[in-house]
Copies of this chain bind each other. A is one copy, B any other.
Amino acid sequence: MTQPSAERKPRPRDARATKALLLEAATDEFAEYGFSGARIDRIAERGGANKRLLYVYFGDKDDLFDAVLDEQSKAVIAAVPLPDGDLCAFAAARFDYMLANPRARRLANWRTFERSEPTEAERRSFKERVETVAAAQKAGRLREDIPAVDLFAMVLRLTESWLSAPPGLLAASSWRRNPMSANRLKEHRAALIAAVRSIVEAR
């Protein structure tokens, strides 16, 4: 809502806005093409700035990718809590988040098989999640005969069972209905929560 300015020196507010626009453009680009396929000049163009500015703000392609991943990590942590290690609530919230954010889904998918070094924020956030699960096991709220890291890894993947199902499986069910219709998603979400409950309940 600010008026266009004719001044030469960018004001701090402009710098922040430009940075945010570039990060947004980079997120789109990495989600679409992955790390290797992404092109720095296309990001600059999408963000409406020049390549030099991109380097000044974020460093090289690796640094920029890290900035995107850290931003995504923060967003997921904020949107998908794990209250007292409640993996059912976590699964429902992560399913909803991934459904509403196809871009986050694509990025997460690239993440699992393209580049192997996690950022510090990713590492820390996953470590916290696993520790929360372990604490809930100790408190008797979750089953203890499966290691916390496996319990968390399995629930994490379960939340993508339908959204990242192989196209052949989605088609196999479409003799009955649209695989992404509101009704189908509602039915799957209930199935997901029931399955997670069965896996995690203390016994």
Contacts and interface: CB of A to CB of B under 8 A. Distances in A.
Interface of A: 37, 73, 105-106, 108-109, 111-113, 115-119, 122-123, 125-127, 129-130, 145-147, 149-154, 156-158, 160-162, 164-173, 175, 187-188, 191-192, 194-195, 198-199
A20 B111 CA distance: 32
A33 to B, nearest CB: 9
Contact of A191 (B108, B127, B154): B154
Shortest 8 CB-CB distances between A and B: which pairs?
A: A122-B168, A118-B168, A150-B191, A126-B172, A127-B172, A118-B167, A157-B161, A126-B168
Given A154-B158, A160-B157, A194-B146, A167 B199 contact: no
Contact of A156 (B126, B161, B194): B161
Contact of A112 (B109, B117, B145): B109
Contacts of A126: 166, 168-169, 171-172
17 contacts: A37-B37, A105-B113, A109-B113, A112-B164, A112-B165, A115-B167, A117-B167, A118-B166, A122-B171, A126-B172, A129-B172, A149-B173, A150-B192, A156-B161, A156-B165, A157-B158, A157-B165
A162 B171 contact: no
This protein's copies in its complex: 2
A62 to B, nearest CB: 14
A192 B160 CA distance: 16
A161 B160 CA distance: 11
> In this complex, which of A109, A127, A191 has the most chain B Cβ atoms within 10 angstroms of its Cβ?
A191
A168 B152 CA distance: 13
Nearest to A196: B199
A34 to B, nearest CB: 8
Contact of A145 (B106, B161, B171, B194): B194
B122 A166 contact: yes
Contacts of A117: 167
